[in-house]
Amino acid sequence: MIEKPIKKSIEEPTGDRGYLLTEQANPDSQNLDRLSTLEIVELFNREDAKAVAAVGQEKEAIAQAITLIAEAITKGGRLFYVGAGTSGRLGVLDAAECPPTFCSDPELIQGILAGGMNAMVKSSEALEDHEDDGAMAIAERNICDRDVVFGITAGGTTPYVHGALRAATQRGAKTVFFCCVPPEQFPVQYDIEIRPLVGAEILAGSTRLKAGTATKLVLNTISTGVMVQLGKVYGNRMIDVAVTNSKLEDRAIRIICDLTSISREESQTLLKKSGKSVKLALLMYWKKVDVATGTQVLQDSQANLTKALQL
């Protein structure tokens, strides 16, 4: 059971945000404009390592989020990433990558971006200040108590994100909050907080850098971890890969080859018989069953191959 943090009031700053960690100047890059190109690359490499370390410090909260989201989806819920600017785009990107990687329903994990899909390629930064728009986005998607809403805001203060999270809370949904500032700079009252403290950016205030890197690392870990929990991975293979092009068909064939030790030609035939389902092909091979039987067994085991093999 996840314990809720002590409730504290949230007041988005309307003036000077210079006290936020993400807005401060980095002393290690104060001569950035005088560095050689190699020195710039070396500086970025050192600073990026800090982002990786900061994510590691949040491992327990990230693990809690994976468990919370996987349980919600198992019970018929969905995951919604909400953000503006870089944060929102990264949420949309992670959501979009799940169906081809894990053959998941596109409705299962969705990205909500301030300004809509047009903001993916054209900056709409002013829209992040509209708290009501965030709440409206939640209402439009009929978010309910089975769902999880994951708010992403590098500096922690984005009104659009808090509007969405508050509306989600009112509807009974679980909430996860991601930012790169410490609790004392911006306290919140959501179910889980993930706060990788990456420090000041190389380019002061440009949170598409280390904060963006940390965001991508966390989202990669969470979405993949959730899919592992849902049985869409066997060993370290993406057995629910959507075979939609030649590259992915080749990957599917190689997965079957590697896990069964049969020839590429036999693997290709087996994949075709299974309707291009790697998971079903493996079950058919290992349990010597036909398509109909294998499909029924997978259905009875909630599409989890490990459980299906035990049946």
What average pLDDT does the chain have? 92
- Tell me, yes or no, whether 53 lies in a domain: yes
Inside any domain, residue 236:
no
The pLDDT value recorded for residue 15 is 64
pLDDT of residue 8: 36
Task: Please tell me whether residues 46 and 188 are part of one structural domain.
Answer: yes
Per-residue pLDDT band for 129 (boundaries 50, 70, 90) equals confident
Global pTM reads 0.88
The reply to whether 200 and 265 lie within a common domain is no
71 and 153 in a common domain: yes
Do 224 and 254 sit in the same domain of this protein?
A: no
Q: Which of 14-23, 57-66, 221-230 has the lowest mean pLDDT?
A: 14-23
Pair 74, 203 in one domain: yes
* Same domain, residue pair 167 and 295: no
Mark whether 60 and 147 lie in a shared domain. yes
Q: What does the pLDDT read at residue 126? A: 65
Number of domains composing the chain: 2
What contacts 265, CB < 8 A, 6 or more positions away?
Answer: none
Least confident of 5-14, 106-115, 195-204, 302-311: 5-14
User: CATH number for the domain including 222?
Assistant: 3.40.50.10490
Share of the chain above pLDDT 90, in %: 81
What distance in Å separates the CA atoms of residue 204 and residue 16, rounded to the nearest whole number?
A: 15
Q: Which domain holds residue 208?
A: 21-229
Mean pLDDT computed over 217-233: 96
Tens-place pLDDT, residues 281-292: 999 999 999 999
CATH number for the domain that contains residue 294: 1.10.8.1080
Per-residue pLDDT at 1 exceeds 60: no
* Beta carbons within 8 Å of 12's beta carbon, 6+ residues apart: 157, 158, 159, 162
The CB-side HSE value for 173 (13 A sphere, CA atoms) comes to: 30
User: Above pLDDT 70, what percent of the chain?
Assistant: 94
**Same structural domain for residues 202 and 270?**
no
Predicted confidence at residue 127, as pLDDT, reads 74
Q: What is the mean pLDDT of residues 231-236?
A: 91
Confidence (pLDDT) at 10:
45
Instruction: Look at residue 121 in the predicted model and tell me its pLDDT.
Output: 83
As given in the structure block, the two tokens for residue 277 are 């389902």
- Kindly state the average pLDDT of the residues 208-223: 98
Q: Is residue 30 part of a domain?
A: yes
Residue 11 lies in a domain: no
- The verdict on residue 172 lying in a domain is yes
Which residues are known to be catalytic? 97, 128
In terms of domains, do 292 and 214 share one? no
At residue 120, does pLDDT exceed 80? yes
Question: Do residues 194 and 222 share a domain?
Answer: yes
List, for residues 81-97, the tens digit of each pLDDT value.
999 999 999 999 999 99
What residues contact 226, with CB distance under 8 A and at least 6 apart?
A: 66, 69, 70, 73, 79
**Given this model, what pLDDT does residue 6 score?**
32
